[in-house]
């Protein structure tokens, strides 16, 4: 039984590091590649709310049509912003992780450590070389 779900983009380093940290805790998560299988509107709204974010805080700017769509304009309502995320899944920031301990937008990737039900099982270093967890499984 999987206790952890990650809304993942394999092209994103933060998302890859987060997935690796989940696996380093001994969990094999449900991996939802949200660009291939976008969450329903209801799921997306629930993820954002459960993470304690505003819809604007869940938007991704870099590498998305955010600027060309003019999404920085305050005229857009939350419902309209969700509509844009439904039309352009790349606008949803990542990775969202859901565990029995909570839901979180894991930026930076080590934010996932706060909601993992199991401790890290060994050392972990991010792709960029930054040590996050020592050999004893504790945050560096």
Q: Is 28 inside a domain boundary?
A: yes
The CATH number of residue 110's host domain is 3.40.30.10
| DSSP 8-state code for residue 139 | B
Instruction: Tell me how far CA of residue 49 lies from CA of 16, 61, 103, 104, in angstroms.
Output: 23, 19, 9, 10
- What would the pLDDT profile of 17-28 be if each residue is shown by its tens digit? 999 999 999 999
Q: Is 29 inside a domain boundary?
A: yes
pLDDT at 41: 97
Q: Is 138 inside a domain boundary?
A: no
Q: Is 94 inside a domain boundary?
A: yes
- The answer to whether residue 49 scores a pLDDT higher than 70 is yes
Contacts of 111 (CB under 8 A, 6+ apart): 104, 105
- What would the pLDDT profile of 62-88 be if each residue is shown by its tens digit? 999 999 999 999 999 999 999 999 999
What tokens were used for 103? 């839901």
Name the domain count of the chain: 1
Q: Is 139 inside a domain boundary?
A: no
Domain that holds residue 110: 5-133
Q: What is the pTM of this model?
A: 0.95
Report how far residue 19's alpha carbon sits from residue 24's, in angstroms, rounded to the nearest whole number. Answer: 9
Residue-averaged pLDDT of the chain: 96
Q: Is 57 inside a domain boundary?
A: yes
Active site residues: 12
pLDDT at 116: 96
Query: What angle is formed at CA 52 by the lines to CA 63 and CA 11, rounded to 5 degrees?
Result: 25
- The answer to whether residue 38 scores a pLDDT higher than 90 is yes
Q: Is 61 inside a domain boundary?
A: yes
């Amino acid at each position: 039984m999987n206790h952890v779900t990650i809304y993942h983009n394999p092209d994103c380093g933060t998302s890859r590091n987060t997935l690796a940290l989940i696996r380093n805790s001994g969990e094999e998560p449900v991996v939802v590649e949200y660009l291939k299988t976008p969450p329903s509107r209801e799921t997306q709204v629930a993820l954002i709310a459960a993470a304690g974010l505003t819809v604007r805080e869940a938007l991704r700017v870099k590498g998305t049509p955010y600027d060309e769509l003019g999404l920085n304009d305050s005229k857009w309502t939350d419902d309209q912003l969700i509509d844009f995320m439904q039309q352009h899944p790349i606008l949803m920031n990542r990775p969202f992780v859901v565990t029995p301990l909570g839901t979180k937008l894991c930026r930076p990737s080590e934010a996932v450590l706060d909601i993992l039900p199991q401790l890290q099982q060994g050392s972990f270093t991010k792709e960029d070389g930054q040590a996050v967890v020592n050999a004893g499984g504790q945050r560096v």
